Structure 1
């Protein structure tokens, strides 16, 4: 089966197989011999910051020499970057494992969703390759997410909670926090992002119910902070940390990851050097990522109100009151009006585009929404045309692409 047929198959089961519950995952894992039991899992949930936090932890374990897997979603540059051990899974390996999972579910008449299928592929691959540790990023929510079909974890990590996917997770921060908190396994450990008290109370309640030791990240630990367009640096306890994952919000993601690592460092025998090098070498695209100079073009995957707040904070930390040219595309199920209200005062101009997704809001429709706040807006059909327009007309300005991860692959290839 070639890659085009794989995508068609995954698209079909995505339409036919989505159903709440973990029973399909658990049944399939059992038939496969419970591959998830062959490695130790660090499970990461949250609304924003999951990918960066997961990457910091993964890279640190790699620096020590542990064979470590990383599972993230959605993909950013290409489909295979969701599944990594040192580097992303090869097309050949994915196709081989795809056939194993496909045969298993069809022979046993199990209907799974696209995300469940890909999660099964990842878990099988990590076990086959004899990973010692795996960092699993939740797809959506936590309680009923495919990644939560495992019996135990080494550590649960929960990042910042915001309003997103309300149709599935609930309409309040507390309801959403509960869904995320349910990645905690009985008698486990969980470290959480320090945030509003009502959310922390949810974490405390679930931790008590499940007999979890709960750690709340202390963001006051970071000293001598420097944030610019190329790196973040700060002192944390006795360590000097530098990272290429830039922006003010990455300062908080990094500290959450450091707290998680600090909890595990004695039992995993992690040295200062492992941690320093792990953070220095950690990289994930589309997180306030400078992808071109002259003019400066940055891609940021912020795609909900909290993500845009974080982007705004990073812009003001790095560029002060400089006005930005925003290349902006969104999905129609997002709260884009809230995003526009948050960011329009930082804008010199907007160039809207239609993301590469069936859920995309048309560029012209987004343009009409922005025109309530700004008359400096044009619409283009796709991200490449939008970026080209911005570069041609705003040669001396900073250009930031944001609003969706679904156009990152196009933009990175184009630039």
Structure 2
């Protein structure tokens, strides 16, 4: 088996199981010797912000000198991004070797999903590498997520709860919160992000305190607002103060300041759980200042200014729209493509006031919404829109317009689309993208 064959094997499995539950995952891990039981994990769930929060926590733990595993979903540029140790992706040969090891056991465990295989691979690699701590992001939900086989996490974290995957998780914030906080365990402290909707916050409190008898550590809305009031925010990042610690946060937008406060609070909790260096000022500053997370309001070109963001639900789109206010009166041309199972109307409604025009494209994904259908939805909102034949054509047209009017381009609507655009833009000649 070579690397491409290993990826083909992983991707040949279905996205969702025929029946929700953890039985298949537990069966597979038992056959593999339960590698997850060798790991000390920080388990993170939420609708928005969990990937950035994972990246921040992992970056600080690395800076503090801990051998740190990081598991994220989905990947942006390459599959191996999902599974990292000390910021290094799992090597190709190691991935092939582990797929070959897992394959015969996978056939015994039942009809596994792709994410279940991904998670088993990650647990095996982290255990093999002797990680001192693993920062683990759920894929979908929490209660039945493959990562939820972790029985005794060091700490749980719940980031912002919003409406996404409603066909699976429920169509109210309370229902979605109940699924997300299914990761919370008896006696395990849970950090909860600020600015939670009251109905979501109450469900989380009931699960953590009422059902599990644990402590819920809520990020302070007051401290967050004080940080936002004094922050110097630019599209390239922000100068902020976290409880007196002044630093540069390279991830743009006030939502990333919220995520930084969540990570900061989680790291202080970890410092009480056998990781004292996690809250040292030097590690916090170095880790947060060096954190990188592609296609989260990421500037990839400066002439014209071209920004990528993976926002794919109304809450994420609202967050992006608020960040774009930092551009002032700069005319913005949007390049947008969405998946058909997402709330494109809600995302369009949030972003329309920030866009002067919109070029719609069809992401290279079997679940993609056709560009012409998206353009029709945008037209219904009164947004000047058109459909491009390809993403490359859409980017060319948008950048040409932006150059002519000293404007900016924002590519959004899907992590898949943003990742595809990133590859195209970074390959362009220097004179095509400054």
Give the shorter-chain TM-score range: over 0.9
1:66, CA displacement in angstroms? 0.6
Q: Are 2:418 and 1:408 aligned? A: yes
Q: 2:276 aligns with which of 250, 269, 289?
A: 269
What does residue 95 of structure 1 align with? 96
> Does 1:284 find its partner at 2:290?
no
Find the aligned partners of 2:178 and 2:69 in 1 and give their Cα distance.
27
**Counterpart pick for 1:398 among 399, 404, 408:** 408
- Asked whether the 8 Å contact 2:358–2:386 carries over to 1, the reply is yes
Q: Is the 8 A contact 1:62 1:68 kept in 2?
A: yes
Compute the TM-score of the two structures, normalised by the length of structure 1. Answer: 0.96
Alignment of 1:204-353 (within 5 A): 204-207=205-208, 208-221=210-223, 222-223=226-227, 224-266=230-272, 267-270=274-277, 271-316=280-325, 318-353=326-361
Range that drifts further, 190-199 or 43-52: 190-199
Q: Pick one of 386, 389, 392 that aligns with 2:397.
A: 389
User: 1:156-215 deviations in whole A, cap 9, x for unaligned?
Assistant: 000000010111101100000000111001111101112122111101110121111101
Aligned equivalents of 1:272, 1:265: Cα separation in 2: 12
Deviation of 1:125 after TM superposition, in Å, equals 0.4
| Paired residues of 1:289 and 1:299 also in contact (CA < 8 A) | yes
SS for the counterpart of 2:416 is coil
Aligned to 2:140: 140
State the distance in 2 between where 1:219 and 1:53 align.
17
Give the 3-state SS of the residue equivalent to 1:378 in structure 2: strand
* RMSD across aligned positions (CA): 1.4
| Structure 1 residues 314 and 2: alpha-carbon distance in aligned structure 2, compared to 1, 3 A threshold | same
Residues in 2 aligned to 1:321 and 1:82: alpha-carbon distance in whole angstroms: 38
**Per-residue displacement from partner, 1:7-49 (whole Å, max 9, x unpaired)?**
4323332168553100111111122111111121000100000
SS in 2 for 1:20: coil
Counterparts of 1:60-209 in structure 2, within 5 Å, are 60-86=60-86, 87-106=88-107, 108-194=108-194, 195-207=196-208, 208-209=210-211
Q: Distance in 1 between matches of 2:197 and 2:115?
A: 31
Residues 4-15 of structure 1: pairs in structure 2 closer than 5 A: 4-14=4-14
CA drift of 1:383 comes to: 2.3
Q: Give the C-alpha shift of residue 313 in structure 1.
A: 0.8
| Structure 1 range deviating more: 393-402 or 157-166 | 393-402
Query: Which runs of no fewer than 5 residues in structure 1 stay unpaired?
Result: none
Q: Which runs of 5+ in 2 are unaligned?
A: 426-434
Q: Count matched residues.
A: 413
Partners of 1:119 and 1:210 in 2: how far apart?
A: 25
Aligned-residue offset at 1:410: 2.0
User: Counterparts of 1:38 and 1:139 in 2: how far apart (Å)?
Assistant: 21
